[in-house]
Amino acid sequence: MHQLTYLEIPTPDTNSVRAWLHSNFIPRNSEKTLTPDGLIIASEEAQICVFVWSLQRTTYLKAFRWTEAVLNHEQEILKDLTKQIHLAFPPQYPAPKEAIAVDLAKGASIFEALEADYPLTVKYFQKLPNGEYDLNRVYWWEKRWRDSVCNPQKPKQVVFRDRQTQVTKTPTYDLIYIGGALGIIHATMMAKLGYRVCLIERLPFGRMNREWNISRAEFQGLVDFGLFTQAEFESIILREYEDGFNKFFDGNNPPNAKAAVLHTPTVLNVAIASERLLKICGEKLKQFGGEIFEQTEFDQAVVTNQSVIVKAHNLITQESLELTGRLILDAMGSASAIAQQINDGQAFDSVCPTVGAVLEGIDPSVWDKKYGDVLFSHGDISRGRQLIWELFPLANNEIAVYLFHYHQVNAQNPGSLLEMYEDFFTILPEYRRCDMDKLTWKKATFGYIPGHFSLGVNARQVSFDRLLALGDAAALQSPLVFTGFGSLVRNLPRLTDLLNTALKHDLLSADQLQNITAYQSNVAVTWLFSKGMMVPTGRVLPPERINSMLNSFFGVMAEQEASVSDRFIKDRLGWLMFNRLAVIAAIKNPKIIVWIWDMAGAWDMAKWLLSYFRFTIDALLHFLLSGWLPKSINKNQTWIEAKYPKLWLKLLSWSYGINYSIGNPKPSNE
């Protein structure tokens, strides 16, 4: 028996594919016999069996030769089959129908509006405690994301510059944060330093559509920084795992693209009660004199020479709100209209559409609560996406399960949360054996996690006069690991120090605030890996391609000591280790270079070379200067900062960057 063809047919309707094979495909110069799952193509000496099956809500096809003899015109027959079936079932990128918006406008519930197109999503959201509210949020989030992606040249203007108005009144606040998830952590830290802080949050404060995981060593930075006590940290730990697993399906991979399980016992191994964390931060913020305006939507900001005026409205009472401050912090994530405007509609060029749920009822024999699934795939490419799972046990018998994929930002194919949720509720039993109707559904988790492929520290605009983006709105976290929470925690010391310096000296213009960034050249260079996990819109790739690439690289890390994968996933991989891993992976599987070139293209490869060149320069500067120059700068802080505050902000930013960019942040707590 010899496998001849392996295809993915991007449709969940496997019966239609089978019917097409039976009725439409006519092999040249050969007999065709129908079978329950496909057909047999035969001559007197040879025989090929073609069959289809369903997995991951898509359809796969394989053709095997059962005989030693080769069928006449065998290659031509298989080429005809491949070409015709792809023409009959081209890639499709479904979007919520206009009729849904019409139904909602007429007063239909979100369940009624979506049931015809997303039946399982409606069924299981109806079982969630806040299901109707959360499904409305999913629909709103997708609509807002689609609008921003499909109209990239026409971002809505929400920030206005007013150079004429002279504001004589002292601003009420130093800092106005817009967005209360990642924003509240940073806001609390700045309030602790004595700044007048307020926060605007669209949701009821403390509501989260995602759980958070981190390592002890990373979170310890917040304890050492004085934001949390050790007791408070222990109180928000839901579970701590013994190990985390990383494994990608390799049943169809070539031998050199198969890999052992990568164990990461100190990566994302602490499950955090995110809503409890937010509550603690909210209480501390108020203790430090800060204010929270919840269920309040940001409308616009007017930047004057002396202050910034923020206009918003309460979603419940519709009452208008006007606040004045010295600086706005945009923490609205991928839904940020500010980020779209200041980047001319090109705020993000990659994204992870992510869906999932907190649930209870998985059989203990199916999953041991002492372990987490950090990255896992149970099949190949599905409808233009390589679906990846995460699973993290929480307190008691609860488990958080996520499904996501790496995705281009493309106007024809923005990425759909609703489609992903229909996938999630369909294929969860394929991933972890369970009876869906016997599970207890606790909470929906979803969102678009954005990324940006930075060519340098100033390649992406994260600032405007009196305005600075952070977290997902800045999109400077790892384009491979996509963890905005972890990135913020790792970068909080330098972001806080730099912002404190800028505020002390009123250095709040766009170019001055651009120095306050979470950019790392060792992180930027990893975007090529995430690019290799995205199926280009309109392309049909060999189904096993992305799993082969993932196994090639993660297999190399599995052969290294545990500290290598730990540093890689925590954005701390240095230049020498990066190159070592890349060379080993290329030697083990030389095709990986060709595959990445095929998926990324010449232009993106050229951009990556620029990122790599920057990484190399930063590594060289770190080698030559880090041992003495930052110390020398710090010794001269008093007179430099007093006489030349702008210069001091640049030097301080550079001093941090020279260490962070080669994976050696300081101070180091690990």
The predicted structure's pLDDT at residue 404: 95
Residue 415: DSSP 8-state: -
- Higher pLDDT: 245 or 570? It is 245
Total tally of structural domains belonging to the chain: 2
The predicted structure's pLDDT at residue 287: 95
The predicted structure's pLDDT at residue 579: 93
CATH number at residue 512: 3.50.50.60
The predicted structure's pLDDT at residue 193: 95
Residues 6+ positions from 213 with CB-CB distance below 8 Å: 268, 269, 270, 271, 272, 372, 392
Among 592, 657, 579, residue whose Cα is nearest residue 618: 657
Give me the torsion for CA of 373, 239, 276, 389, rounded to 10°: 10
Q: How far apart are CA 122 and CA 114, in angstroms?
A: 7
Are 51 and 163 in the same domain? Answer: no
Domain-embedded: residue 601: no
Amino acid at residue number 456: G
Q: How far apart are CA 319 and CA 431, in angstroms?
A: 47
Are 310 and 458 in the same domain? Answer: yes
Are 331 and 188 in the same domain? Answer: yes
| Positive or negative: CA dihedral 186, 510, 502, 304 | negative
| Positive or negative: CA dihedral 332, 337, 339, 340 | positive
User: Which H or E run includes 645?
Assistant: helix 645-660
Are 163 and 310 in the same domain? Answer: yes
**669 pLDDT more than 70:** no
Extract the tokens encoding 155.
């971002």
**126 pLDDT more than 50:** yes
Contact, 526 vs 230, CB < 8 A? no
Contact, 578 vs 525, CB < 8 A? yes
Average pLDDT over residues 240-254: 95
Q: How far apart are CA 301 and CA 314, in angstroms?
A: 16
Residues 6+ positions from 74 with CB-CB distance below 8 Å: 4, 46, 48, 65
The predicted structure's pLDDT at residue 476: 63
| Look-up of token digits 């880090």 | 626
Are 84 and 162 in the same domain? Answer: no
**Of 520, 536, 570, at which residue does a domain stop?**
520
Are 28 and 173 in the same domain? Answer: no
Are 69 and 162 in the same domain? Answer: no
The predicted structure's pLDDT at residue 670: 35
**479 pLDDT more than 80:** no
Q: How far apart are CA 280 and CA 134, in angstroms?
A: 23
Contact, 28 vs 73, CB < 8 A? yes
Residues 6+ positions from 135 with CB-CB distance below 8 Å: 110, 111, 114, 121, 122, 125, 444
Pairing state of beta strands 262-263 and 243-247? Answer: antiparallel
Residues 6+ positions from 584 with CB-CB distance below 8 Å: 556
The predicted structure's pLDDT at residue 453: 73
Average pLDDT, whole number, for the chain? 90
Are 79 and 209 in the same domain? Answer: no
Contact, 449 vs 474, CB < 8 A? no
How confident is the model over 394-451, as pLDDT tens digits? Answer: 999 999 999 999 998 888 999 999 999 999 999 999 999 999 999 999 999 999 887 7
The predicted structure's pLDDT at residue 477: 54
The predicted structure's pLDDT at residue 667: 41
Domain-embedded: residue 507: yes
Residue 296 has a CB neighbour count (10 Å cut-off) of 23
Q: What is the value of pTM for the model shown?
A: 0.91
CATH number at residue 57: 3.30.310.50
Report the 3 state secondary structure along 357-396: EEEECCCCCCCCCCEEEEEECCCCCECCECCEEEEEECCC
Are 326 and 475 in the same domain? Answer: yes
Average pLDDT over residues 274-291: 94
Mark 172-193 as b/e (b = at least 16 C-beta within 10 Å): ebbbbbbbbbbbbbbbbbbbbb
How confident is the model over 83-93, as pLDDT tens digits? Answer: 999 999 999 99
Domain-embedded: residue 397: no
Among 147, 44, 12, residue whose Cα is nearest residue 419: 12
Average pLDDT over residues 490-499: 89
Are 30 and 165 in the same domain? Answer: no
Q: How far apart are CA 390 and CA 403, in angstroms?
A: 7
Mark 21-32 as b/e (b = at least 16 C-beta within 10 Å): beeebebeebee
Q: How far apart are CA 54 and CA 59, in angstroms?
A: 5
Q: How far apart are CA 281 and CA 178, in angstroms?
A: 15
**Of 490, 520, 550, at which residue does a domain stop?**
520
The predicted structure's pLDDT at residue 427: 97
Q: How far apart are CA 44 and CA 69, in angstroms?
A: 10
Are 78 and 190 in the same domain? Answer: no
Give me the torsion for CA of 70, 73, 75, 77, rounded to 10°: -120
Q: How far apart are CA 490 and CA 267, in angstroms?
A: 13
Extract the tokens encoding 430.
């394929």
Contact, 600 vs 608, CB < 8 A? yes
Domain extent at residue 209: 157-231+273-348+452-520
Question: Whats the size of the chain, residue-wise?
Answer: 670
Domain-embedded: residue 393: no
Are 303 and 207 in the same domain? Answer: yes
DSSP letters spanning 544-574: THHHHHHHHHHHHHHTS-HHHHHHHHTT---
Domain-embedded: residue 405: no
How confident is the model over 596-625, as pLDDT tens digits? Answer: 888 888 888 888 888 899 899 999 998 898
**626 pLDDT more than 90:** no
How confident is the model over 349-407, as pLDDT tens digits? Answer: 788 899 999 999 999 889 999 999 999 999 999 999 999 999 999 999 999 999 999 99
Among 654, 283, 261, residue whose Cα is nearest residue 494: 654
Domain-embedded: residue 98: no
Give me the torsion for CA of 358, 361, 366, 371, rounded to 10°: 40
How confident is the model over 284-343, as pLDDT tens digits? Answer: 999 999 999 999 999 999 999 899 999 999 999 999 999 999 999 999 887 788 888 888
The predicted structure's pLDDT at residue 527: 77
**Of 47, 67, 88, at which residue does a domain stop?**
88
Domain-embedded: residue 305: yes
Residue 318: DSSP 8-state: -
Domain-embedded: residue 369: no
